[in-house]
């Protein structure tokens, strides 16, 4: 799915066989549909290609593995093309099509954006893989992120740099940039999601939140926080768990004796879901209430719904089912994701309200209604009484 005016994709071709280069250049225009176009750079020296990656960004790499001028055994066992691949990974993101006679050397690297084509399969196979990579929209996403960063640096930082006079103010720029990128990408998320998913996938109402916006995935390495979602065995029960211990407790060395976790129940086993499965039309109400964190016929703060996505099933946090584990047990649990701010804080606040509630007897409504009814009766007036002289 391209922009109406078309996208000019930038390809880097690393290949020292002139015949193969000629075939690729002739076929390149057919790798995309109009109005998209392709602009390419070709390198026959692998070292030069590594240097070029440091200077410029490319949307796709078509990469040979072996320098044909090197006939040694070492060249076959440690192909120089892998050095270019590693240089790319340490510099920036771009999908790679390995087009090589040593395909077996890189089969283990294959993913949705790293493809391997044996040279005996020909240019048509390369074309097919390139088109599939572009259809993932990952090159578009990578380009959009860089565009947002570039625009911010030129339009704001470049214009206002003189205002950052002290070293402290210049250090502040790092935090400004991080926050600005976050906000800008959130603003672009809907357009990016539409481009990635097409028209068949429903998107969130602009006035509401998409389920993915609740999570940070993967969680920050080595950072255990309140609102973290973990998976693992506790007391013989393998399940998902939500961290309730305040984040600051993890930073106080020697003070954290136990970590408090809430059990996350699979939505698929909850009665509201099972009832909805039987009749989605008439039984949707209770399920909607549960998803909306207003579960019927129970204390409303007790449960918290966590929407599912590719890394997580739909879950219902039960703040009544708690486990306290030691830090050693806690470290054995697998981090899956963490709730982003302010959703982590909202979950903890909900837990605090549930456990901090003060139970009281209900007011006797009959007594209150009786008093209101009595007060609503029309009062007798002076005109209603007979004059005293007439008595």
Domain boundaries, the chain: 8-136, 141-197, 212-356
Which pLDDT value is given to residue 182?
76
Per the listing, tokens 């070292």 go with: 47
Do 163 and 218 form a contact (C-beta atoms < 8 A)? no
Which pLDDT value is given to residue 391?
47
Mean pLDDT of the chain: 86
Which has more pLDDT, 379 or 339?
A: 339
Looking only at the bridges linking them, the beta strands covering 60-63 and 96-100 are: parallel
Q: Residue length, the chain?
A: 391
Do 241 and 261 form a contact (C-beta atoms < 8 A)? yes
Which pLDDT value is given to residue 74?
46
CATH code assigned to 212-356: 2.30.30.110
Give Cα separations from 228 to 72, 263, 312, 340, 345 (angstroms). Answer: 52, 12, 13, 9, 11
Looking only at the bridges linking them, the beta strands covering 114-118 and 237-243 are: unpaired
Question: What digits encode the pLDDT tens for the residues 228-276?
Answer: 999 999 999 999 999 999 988 888 877 889 999 999 999 999 999 999 9
Average pLDDT over residues 16-25: 94
Which pLDDT value is given to residue 155?
82
Question: What digits encode the pLDDT tens for the residues 327-368?
Answer: 999 999 999 999 998 999 999 999 999 999 888 888 999 999
Which pLDDT value is given to residue 348?
96
Do 105 and 3 form a contact (C-beta atoms < 8 A)? no
**Which of 5-9, 25-29, 77-81 has the weakest average pLDDT?**
77-81
CATH code assigned to 8-136: 3.40.50.2300
Question: What digits encode the pLDDT tens for the residues 157-212?
Answer: 777 777 777 888 778 877 787 777 777 777 666 666 766 666 666 666 777 778 88
Average pLDDT over residues 99-121: 92
Which pLDDT value is given to residue 1?
43
Angle between helices 138-152 and 167-197 (to 10 degrees): 150
Chain centroid to CA 170: 30
Same-fold call for 8-136 versus 212-356: no
Which pLDDT value is given to residue 223?
67
Predicted confidence band of residue 37 (pLDDT cuts 50, 70, 90): very high
Instruction: Tell whether the model's pLDDT for residue 39 goes beyond 90.
Output: yes
Predicted confidence band of residue 381 (pLDDT cuts 50, 70, 90): low
Instruction: Tell whether the model's pLDDT for residue 324 goes beyond 60.
Output: yes
Radius of gyration over every alpha carbon of the chain, rounded to an integer in angstroms: 32
Give Cα separations from 305 to 78, 181, 204, 318 (angstroms). Answer: 51, 29, 17, 9
Instruction: Tell whether the model's pLDDT for residue 64 goes beyond 50.
Output: yes
Question: What digits encode the pLDDT tens for the residues 210-224?
Answer: 888 899 888 876 668
Residue 28 CB neighbours (<10 A): 21
Which pLDDT value is given to residue 73?
43
**Which of 118-122, 139-143, 310-314 has the weakest average pLDDT?**
139-143
Does the pTM surpass 0.85? The reply is: no
Report which of 187, 109, 97, 104 is spatially closest to residue 134, judged by C-alpha positions: 97
Report which of 153, 213, 217 is spatially closest to residue 181, judged by C-alpha positions: 153
Predicted confidence band of residue 9 (pLDDT cuts 50, 70, 90): very high
Q: CA 54 to CA 91: how far, in whole Å?
A: 7
Which pLDDT value is given to residue 244?
96
């Amino acid at each position: 799915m391209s922009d109406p005016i078309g996208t000019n994709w930038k390809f880097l071709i690393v290949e020292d066989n002139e015949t193969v280069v000629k075939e690729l250049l002739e076929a390149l225009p057919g790798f995309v549909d109009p109005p998209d176009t392709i602009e390419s750079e070709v390198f026959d020296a692998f070292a030069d290609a590594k240097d070029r990656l440091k200077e410029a960004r490319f949307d796709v790499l078509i990469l040979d593995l072996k320098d044909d001028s090197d006939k040694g055994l070492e060249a076959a066992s440690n192909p120089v093309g892998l050095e270019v691949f590693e240089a790319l990974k340490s510099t920036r993101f771009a999908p790679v099509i390995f087009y090589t006679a040593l395909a077996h050397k890189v089969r283990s690297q294959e993913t949705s954006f790293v493809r391997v084509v044996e040279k005996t399969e020909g240019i048509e196979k390369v074309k097919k893989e390139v088109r599939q990579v572009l259809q993932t929209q990952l090159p578009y996403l990578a380009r959009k992120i860089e565009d947002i960063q570039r625009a911010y640096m030129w339009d704001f930082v470049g214009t206002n740099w003189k205002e950052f006079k002290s070293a402290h103010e210049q250090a502040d720029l790092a935090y400004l940039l991080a926050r600005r990128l976050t906000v800008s990408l959130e603003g672009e998320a809907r357009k990016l999601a539409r481009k990635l998913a097409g028209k068949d996938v429903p998107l969130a109402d602009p006035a509401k939140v998409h389920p993915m916006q609740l999570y940070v995935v993967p969680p920050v390495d080595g950072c255990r926080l309140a609102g973290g979602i973990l998976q693992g065995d506790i007391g013989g029960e393998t399940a998902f768990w939500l961290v309730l211990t305040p984040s600051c407790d993890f930073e106080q060395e020697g003070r954290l004796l136990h970590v408090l976790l809430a059990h996350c129940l699979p939505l698929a086993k909850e009665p509201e879901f099972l009832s909805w499965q039987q009749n989605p039309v008439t039984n949707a109400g209770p399920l909607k209430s549960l998803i909306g964190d207003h579960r019927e016929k129970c204390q409303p703060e007790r449960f918290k719904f966590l929407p599912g996505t590719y890394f997580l099933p739909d879950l219902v946090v039960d703040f009544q089912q708690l486990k306290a584990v030691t830090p050693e047990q806690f470290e054995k649990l697998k981090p899956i994701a963490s709730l982003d701010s302010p959703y982590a804080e909202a979950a903890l606040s909900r837990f605090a309200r549930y456990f901090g509630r003060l139970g009281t007897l209900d007011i006797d409504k009959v007594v209150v209604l009786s008093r209101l009814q009595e007060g609503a009766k029309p009062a007798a007036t002076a005109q209603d009484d007979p004059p005293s002289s007439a008595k």
